Structure 1
């Protein structure tokens, strides 16, 4: 099962490795309900800062990071049944026929 750290999906085996590394390096939550537990986000941030510090020259030479746009892909399945747009979709019937009211008398007149 994958969870997110800083908005990035991280697989469970990598999370376990990060937890062990956090315990070794001493990254813990200092307060709150997670006090004493491994602080993975703090550890990941420290790893990124260390990486940037060690590779600053390479990163500067590479230039600014530009995210490439994802190519538009056609839908994989060509289902015969298409979903209608919300504006033209048939609305559920909201009005109900009024219930027959009971007469205030004790029953039908004889």
Structure 2
């Protein structure tokens, strides 16, 4: 039975009925270099041509700067598929991307801040 408001694309017992790589037309490589920490944001430009519902959802999530990882989590899609979708939106000018604000993801002070935040959540 489908959950209310999800339409035919989700099923309570089976989960997503459309395979993730169907969303990206089987493509596994984005045309724009994106990593999980890359920040993406909508430009306000209306994309031309057909975009699928996942593209529209991703664009809606990007009204404020957000990481690729966060978009993937909200869309409940693999990161590789999300990168392809976001890359499509960058290519048509609907999104802009920028590298993460920090350059060393293994910086000890950053990792300690993340650990402290996680401990506060528990």
Query: Higher strand share goes to which structure?
Result: 2
Structure with bigger helix share is 2
Q: TM-score, structure 2 length as denominator?
A: 0.19
TM-score norm. by structure 1 comes to: 0.21
Higher relative contact order (CA 8 A, sep 6+): 2
